[in-house]
Structures are given as C-alpha cells and as structure tokens.
C-alpha cells in the first residue's frame, strides 16, 4: 500500500548536493515525490512509496550525502498525491 510522508531535514543540508542525492536515492528506490530547499535552511521532501521503501529512504535521509550534516528529521504522514516520478523543485 502506497503511503505519503513529508520529511523535513535540518542541519547543513543546503549547498551540499542534498537535493540531487535525494533524487538519485529516491529514483533508485522507486519513490515518487519532490525535494526542495526551504528558505529557513531546511530541505523538504514529499515522498510516496510502500512503507518498506519509505523506511529505507528515511534511513538514508538521516545521514544524506557525503558533505551534509543532518541534525534531525521530522516526518509527517499525509494524503497520497499520486506523484509521477521524483522531481527536484
């Protein structure tokens, strides 16, 4: 069953290729959604997939790409939006 998660990532997550790396990881896992930088310095991911894939993606988000420093992540479940593919916004 497809689920939707909003994932807000805090720390040194802008200017370290977080969005591109998230795109590559989401594509590898077959996750649909979007990733974008937020003016407050965080990164916001909207992700849709089955629970196992989302858990694997969340594990990746906890560390992110090589030069990122993730302080914390917040997840909020939501209604499935039926994204087609994964986009960098």
Catalytic residues: 19, 37
Say whether 33 sits in a helix, a strand or coil: strand
Q: With contact defined as beta carbons under 8 Å apart, do 27 and 45 qualify?
A: no
Q: With contact defined as beta carbons under 8 Å apart, do 77 and 2 qualify?
A: no
Q: What are phi and psi of 49, to 5 degrees?
A: -175, 180
If we measure between CA atoms, which residue out of 37, 33, 47 comes closest to residue 13?
Answer: 37
């Amino acid at each position: 069953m497809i689920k939707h998660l909003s994932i807000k990532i805090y720390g040194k997550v802008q200017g370290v290729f977080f969005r591109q790396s998230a795109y590559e990881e989401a594509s590898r896992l077959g996750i649909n959604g979007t990733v974008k930088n937020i003016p407050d310095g965080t990164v916001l991911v909207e992700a849709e997939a089955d629970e196992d894939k989302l858990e694997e993606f969340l594990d990746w988000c906890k560390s992110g790409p090589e030069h990122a420093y993730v302080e914390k992540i917040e997840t909020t479940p939501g209604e499935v939006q039926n994204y087609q593919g994964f986009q960098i916004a």
